[in-house]
Amino acid sequence: MQTIHEAADAIRQKKITPIELVEQCLANIDRWEEHVHAWVFVDRDGALAEAKRLTDELSRGQYRGPLHGIPIGVKDIFDVFDWPTAAGSKLWANSIARQDADVVRQLRQAGCIFLGKTVTTQYASFDPPVTRNPWNLSRTPGGSSSGSAAAVATGMCLGALGSQTGGSITRPASYCGVAGCKPSYGYVSCNGVVPLAPSMDHPGPIAPCVEDLAIMLRAMLDYDHSLFTHDQVRRLQDGCPGEFGRVRGLFQDLADLHVRAMMDEVSAQLRDKGAAIREFTLPPGFSEVLPSHRTVMAAEAAQYHEQRLRHHPQDYQPRIRALLEEGLNCPAPTYGRAKSLQDRLQDEMTANLMWDDWGILLTPATTSAAPDASTTGDPAFNSPWSYTGLPTVSLPVGLSPDGLPLAIQLVGARGKHEWLLAAAAWVEKALGVGPLTPPLPR
C-alpha cells in the first residue's frame, strides 16, 4: 500500500508527479470500486485538472508541504465547494455546497487533491451502507466513515476525511486494516459538516499508517498547529514513550476471544521492546459511559433532525429514526445528567492521564473483527472517547484467524496530540506492523 509520507518523499524528490499519483488511485478505483462501493462519486476530470495544477506548481519550485499532490477522499458529510453533500439522504442528493467546510479548505490549501465523496451511513449513524469490507465482501467495513476506510484500505486514495460521534473513525479504520485518529474534542472545526451530536462530533483522518495521520492532522488542527511538526513526530517515534496504561473493565468484558488474545500478545511484545505496561483503573462513573453517550447522541441528533423528520419521515432509515425517536422522548433531566457526567469525566480522565509527562492508554480498537454486513459493528470501545473528548489513534496489528484485520487503540490526554502520535508511531514500529493490503477479490 502506498503511504502518504512515502508518496510525499517521492513527490519532493521528483520521482513521481501528483498526476501519476492520481492515475494510480484511479486505476485502483477501476480495480476495486465494483466490489467495495466506497464512493458516492469520483470526479476524475476535476482531480486530474487539480493534479495538473499542483504538478505545475512543483515545476515552478512551489512546494506546499507533505500533502502537496496527495489524493484523498472526503466523507459525504463534509462540504466541498460545488459538490453535493448528501449525507446519505435522497432529498439532499443535489444539495451542492457553496463553500468548503473549514477542514476541507485547510486540506485544499495544504495541497490535497479531492478525488470524490466517500459513502457515509445515513446522517453518520448506524444503518448499514452499500459499502463492503475489502477483506471479505460479506463483512461490514464498519460505519459511519465506511467509504473513507474502505477506499484507503484499497489504495483508491492515500488518505481520507472521516468523522466520529460514537466509533465512526476507529471502527471502520480498524475493520478495514488502516489507521485512524479521532482528535481531541473541539480541536478540528465542524463548520460545514453535517452534525450528528455537536458535543461529540469529531472530524479526523483515516490513513495507511500513524505518520500519515500526523501529516493530515497537522493540516486539520484549528488551534495548535505549532504543537508538533512532522519531523518531531518522526524523531519521537524512535524513543520508547515509557509507560502505557492497559485498560480492562468493559474493554476486556466486551472483547471476543481473538481480541483478548491479540491484546495479550501486543502487551507482551511492547514489554519486550522496553515499554512498561501497567493496569489502568477506570474511574467509577465510567460504568455509565455507554448509556450516557447514547443519551447525549440521541438528544442532540433529535435537536438537529426534529423538524425535518416530521416533514420528511420517508427520508430516514430505521436505525437513525429509532435513535431520533429515542432522543425526542428523552426527558431533559436525563440528558442533563448525561451532560454532567460527560463534563466530570472529561476533567477526571485528563487528570488521571498526567502520570508521567502525559500518559497513554492501551485498549483494543474494536470488540471483534468486522462482523457481517447487516450491521456496522459495535462502537463500545470508541464511544467512551467520543464522549470524554480524549484523542485516540488506532492502528492495525495483524489478521484474525479468519483473515480479517485486528487493531489496537491508544488514548491520550486532551490536546496532547504530539505525545499520542509519537507513542502510536513507536508502537507501530515496535510491533513491526505496516499497512495491511487486502487481496483483490476474484
Q: Mind telling me the catalytic residues?
A: 75, 144, 168
Contact stretch for a second copy (CB under 8 A) within 80-88, 175-183, 234-242, 326-334: 80-88
List 9, 56, 82, 343, residue binding a second copy (CB under 8 A)? 82
2, 28, 55, 85: residue in contact with a second copy (rule CB under 8 A): 85
Output the smallest distance, CB 89 to a second copy, in A: 9
Applying CB under 8 A, which of residues 41, 56, 90, 99 lies at the interface with a second copy? 99
- Which amino acid is residue 428, in one-letter code? E
Print the SS3 string covering 168-192. Answer: CCHHHHHHHCCEEEECCCCCCCCCC
User: By CB under 8 A, how many residues form the interface with a second copy?
Assistant: 19
List 98, 231, 332, 333, residue binding a second copy (CB under 8 A): 98
**Residue closer to a second copy, measured from CB, 97 or 130:** 97
- In 53-155, the DSSP E strands lie at 71-75, 113-118
Residue closer to a second copy, measured from CB, 41 or 274: 41
Contact call for residue 303 and a second copy (CB under 8 A): no
The amino acid at 177: G
d(CA 212, CA 245): 25
Shortest Å distance, C-beta 98 to a second copy: 5
**Residue 400 binds a second copy, judged by CB under 8 A:** no
Q: Per rule CB under 8 A, is residue 44 in the interface with a second copy? A: no
Single out the segment in contact with a second copy by CB under 8 A; choices: 60-68, 79-87, 142-150, 409-417: 79-87
- Taking the least distance from each CB to a second copy, the nearer of 62 and 281 is 62
Phi-psi region of 194 (alpha: psi -120 to 50; beta: other; left: phi over 0): beta
Question: How many Cα atoms occupy the beta-carbon half-sphere of 275 within 13 Å?
Answer: 30
Burial class of residue 60, CB neighbours in 10 A (0-12, 13-18, 19+): exposed
The reply on whether position 195 binds a second copy by CB under 8 A is: yes
Through-space distance between the first and last CA atoms of the chain, rounded to whole angstroms: 19
Residue 124 vs 176, nearer CB to a second copy: 124
Q: Which of 311, 318, 351, 357 binds a second copy (CB under 8 A)?
A: 311
Q: Does 314 bind a second copy (CB under 8 A)?
A: no
Judged by CB under 8 A, the residue of 105, 230, 308, 337 near a second copy is 308
Q: Note the helical H segments in 329-403.
A: 332-352, 383-388
Residue 168: which of 149, 153, 194, 185 has the closest Cα? 149
Asked whether position 307 contacts a second copy by CB under 8 A, the answer is: yes
- Residues whose CB is less than 8 angstroms from the CB of residue 65 and which lie 6 or more positions away in sequence, other chains included: 110, 111, 219
C-alpha 360: how far from chain center: 18
Query: Which of 92, 252, 322, 328 is in the footprint of a second copy by CB under 8 A?
Result: 92
Which residue in the set 194, 207, 353, 380 belongs to the binding site for a second copy (CB under 8 A)? 194
Nearer to a second copy, 269 or 303 (CB): 303
Q: Which stretch binds a second copy (CB under 8 A): 96-104, 177-185, 250-258, 391-399?
A: 96-104
Determine the residue type at 282: L
CA dihedral 184, 186, 192, 196 (to 10 degrees): 80
Strands 71-75 and 113-118: parallel
91 in contact with a second copy (CB under 8 A) = yes
Kindly state the smallest distance separating residue 439's Cβ from a second copy, in Å: 38
How far apart CA 264 and CA 248 sit, in angstroms, is: 11
Helix, strand, coil shares of the chain, percent, nearest 5, are 45, 15, 40
C-alpha cell at 340: 454532567
Q: Is 95 a residue that touches a second copy (CB under 8 A)?
A: yes
> What is the contact surface with a second copy in residues (CB under 8 A)?
81-82, 84-85, 87, 91-92, 94-99, 191, 194-195, 307-308, 311
